[in-house]
Amino acid sequence: MENSNLKRRILSEFESLVAVSCPKQKVPQKYKNLHVAILKNHYNAADVAIDYHRGRVEMDVILDDKDYDPKKVNLCVPTLHVNLLFKNLFDFLKTCIDKDSKSLAFYSNLLHSYSGEGKDASLRLA
């Protein structure tokens, strides 16, 4: 029961952080990094570029993890170049929020690193 509440709280706070990170105007660099991290985690992507003006995401998705070794330079990792379009950044990023344990731990770390910034941003909205 308590574990379920913790998962719900992490997801709720992370969604709030994502909502704050999607302003109508220019996106600050700290939030661009957050968006890239979310997409890399969800799609298992190696290289992510977001064009906020055109509503486009370009990335290289790693096809097979067994060929990838983070301890050495990877020259022959099979990837697929993907071009995705989105209309609403928040809705798009919200669909990329996974609910598995590994992702929840990742979101918890992101919340911890953005905790001061997220609270300040939410106070500005109020």
- Percent of residues in the chain assigned helix, strand, coil, to nearest 5: 55, 15, 30
Reduced to 3 states, what is the DSSP secondary structure of residue 59? strand
- Confidence tier at 78 by pLDDT (50, 70, 90): confident
Specify the pTM: 0.82
Number of domains making up the chain: 1
Residue 86 has pLDDT above 60, yes or no: yes
Strands (E), 1-126: 45-51, 56-62, 79-85
Residues 63-69 have a mean pLDDT of: 76
pLDDT at res. 124: 33
Domain of 69? 2-125
